[in-house]
Each structure stands twice: as structure tokens, then as C-alpha cells.
């Protein structure tokens, strides 16, 4: 990731993409099983569905607990805001109308891929509502751009690892 100089209020976004030698129908159940995500993350410790259905549908929610060396340990509630099988899965953190961040996956199959393959993208956008990162920014406002850049770079590295894990799982199941 190159230096962007963006501020939190700019709604910084990170996207990571990979190609998977498995169909969207094989990849879909992996990316929508949010309880698997801690196995693919160094920061996310646990995820539990809040809803009795324990499955993703628009409006369903789950609680994730994370730990970061500089930010400590915290839990957030996320809400599924888009569930378009097997194409798009998106959730908003803390408040679906005014999230502290939004995360999602986009799956595509097209002629440029190996037959039966999937282009898988994971993305995240900070804000617009404040998050735990806002505390660090408030404490050091003169370093906001660097704080945001470092965090976005961490997200990019984490998402790259997550997509590699999803790819391995999907290709092993295909």
C-alpha cells in the first residue's frame, strides 16, 4: 500500500483481490460463515451470532471480539446489510445506518478466469462514525494521516492472509 495521506473523515477504503480455482457456490459458504473468520485472522479472536438463526440474512447480527497490541481488546456488534448469494456479503460495524466501519466480500466469475473460477474481493471502509481508532487520532491529531495509513496497511495485510486462507479452503473443497 502506498502512502495516501487520507484522514478518517475521508472514509479510507482497502480492497484485496485474489482468484480462486473454485466456483462462487463453493466459495460462498466459506465467506458467509463468520464464525470461521477468527481462524483466518491474527486480530479477530471470536465471532458469535447474536440471532437465534445463527446464519447470515439481512438484518442479522454477530459479535466479534478482537485484540490489537496498540489498541487493546474490544468487542463490536456487526449487522448484515447485504446478502446476495453467491455475489455480495456486506456487514456494518456498530450501527447499520452510521457504521464505524463496513466490511464485505464480492464474488465474480467471468471469461478471464479459469473455467469455474471466482474472482474474490474483500474490502473495508473506515467510518463514517467514530471507532476505536478515533481515540488514537484524538490523542495525536497531528499524526492522523500516519495513524490511518498504518491501520489501513494492517487491514490490507490481514485481508491478504484471509483471502489466502479462503482460497486454500475453497480449492481443497472444489
Q: What DSSP string runs through 52-84?
A: TT-S--TT-EEEEEEEETTTEEEEEEEEEEEEE
Domain that holds residue 154: 8-33+85-173
Give the CATH number of the domain where residue 110 resides. Answer: 3.30.530.20
Domain count, the chain: 1
Pick from 104, 160, 153, 151: nearest CA to 132: 151
pLDDT at 173: 80
Answer whether residue 77 is part of any domain.
no
Answer whether residue 42 is part of any domain.
no
Answer whether residue 54 is part of any domain.
no
Answer whether residue 113 is part of any domain.
yes
Answer whether residue 57 is part of any domain.
no
- For 68, residues 6+ apart whose C-beta sits below 8 A from its C-beta are 43
pLDDT in tens, 15-68: 999 999 999 999 999 999 999 999 999 999 999 999 877 889 999 999 999 999
Place of cell 467510518: 127
Answer whether residue 72 is part of any domain.
no
pLDDT in tens, 115-135: 789 999 999 999 999 999 999
Phi-psi region of 60 (alpha: psi -120 to 50; beta: other; left: phi over 0): beta
Answer whether residue 67 is part of any domain.
no
Whether the predicted pLDDT of 114 surpasses 90 = no
Answer whether residue 159 is part of any domain.
yes
Amino acid at each position: 500500500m502506498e502512502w495516501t495521506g487520507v484522514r478518517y473523515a475521508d472514509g479510507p477504503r482497502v480492497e484485496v483481490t485474489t482468484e480462486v480455482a473454485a466456483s462462487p457456490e463453493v466459495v460462498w459458504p466459506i465467506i458467509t460463515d463468520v464464525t470461521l473468520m477468527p481462524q483466518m485472522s491474527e486480530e479477530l479472536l471470536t465471532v458469535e451470532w447474536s440471532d437465534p438463526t445463527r446464519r447470515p440474512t439481512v438484518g442479522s447480527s454477530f459479535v466479534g471480539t478482537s485484540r490489537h497490541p496498540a489498541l487493546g481488546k474490544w468487542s463490536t456488534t456487526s449487522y448484515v446489510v447485504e446478502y446476495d448469494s453467491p455475489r455480495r456479503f456486506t456487514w456494518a460495524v456498530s450501527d447499520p445506518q452510521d457504521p464505524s466501519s463496513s466490511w464485505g466480500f464480492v464474488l465474480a466469475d467471468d471469461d478471464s478466469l479459469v473455467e469455474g473460477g471466482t474472482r474474490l474481493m474483500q474490502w473495508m471502509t473506515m467510518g463514517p462514525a467514530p471507532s476505536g481508532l478515533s481515540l488514537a487520532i484524538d490523542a495525536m491529531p497531528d499524526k492522523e494521516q500516519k495513524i490511518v495509513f498504518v491501520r489501513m496497511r494492517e487491514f490490507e495485510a490481514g485481508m491478504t492472509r484471509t483471502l489466502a486462507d479462503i482460497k486454500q479452503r475453497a480449492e481443497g473443497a472444489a
